[in-house]
Amino acid sequence: MDETAAIARLEACGVIPVVVIEDASRAIDLAHALVAGGIDVVEVTLRRPAGLAALEAIARSVPGALPVAGTVVTPAQVQQVKDAGAKAVVSPGFSEAVDEALKAAGLPWLPGVATASDCMRAVAAGRIVAKFFPAETAGGPPALKALSGPFPQMRFCPTGGVGLNNLGSYLALPQVICVGGSWLVPADAIASGDWARVTRLAKEASEAFRALRG
């Protein structure tokens, strides 16, 4: 999948679940539960050892979901997530080494930015779609508005402290293509296999996005 198609898919989904998973055997049911609720992009982070296997399971067995690798912070991880079937990659920050590895791998990338300096590095590398992280700690919507002055070409996926309570304030900004959050995939729901709850949360988020963006 090329970058334009991947970004279009993220934008159409609107709310991207940030999955931290302890047991890869739950990944397929989790992804099906999200898709049933209207969320068809799944960001599986590499924060836990099970992350890579969970990403691979979703890529292999849930064709209705777009598998995205999150928390990719080293060049070595780039080939790992590509081999696992990731169609796009998200990182918490910007690294020239990771940028080069992703360009070589041909994978779309949303690097993490939080400051004007971060944005300058991203733009210099040709990266104009980024993850704004940690969104609330970095200043929230007012900070995004400020960054859009000197960087009008950039578009963002705010993540970190985003939830139903403040979704609207981010999606009201034209430079925001989507938001990311872990509230759709609570750790206790994954651990207990409460897929009905995950589907309900996904449906709430999807409906909120549709109401705000149409």
Catalytic residues, by residue number, are 43, 131
* Alpha helices in 20-137, H assignment, sequence order: 27-36, 51-61, 75-84, 96-105, 116-124
Least Cα distance to 188 among 36, 23, 54 occurs for 23
Alpha carbons within 13 angstroms on the beta-carbon side of residue 60 total 13
User: What burial class does residue 18 get, using C-beta atoms within 10 Å of its C-beta: 0-12 exposed, 13-18 middle, 19+ buried?
Assistant: buried
**Pairing mode of beta strands 155-158, 109-110:** unpaired
What is the enclosing helix (H) or strand (E) of 207? helix 195-213
Rg of the chain's alpha carbons, rounded to an integer?
16
**Positions of E strands within the chain:** 15-19, 41-45, 66-70, 88-90, 109-110, 112-113, 129-132, 155-158, 179-181
Residues paired with residue 155 on neighbouring β-strands, in sequence order: 129
Q: Taking phi first (over 0 means left), then psi (-120 to 50 degrees means alpha), and beta for anything else, what does residue 154 get?
A: beta
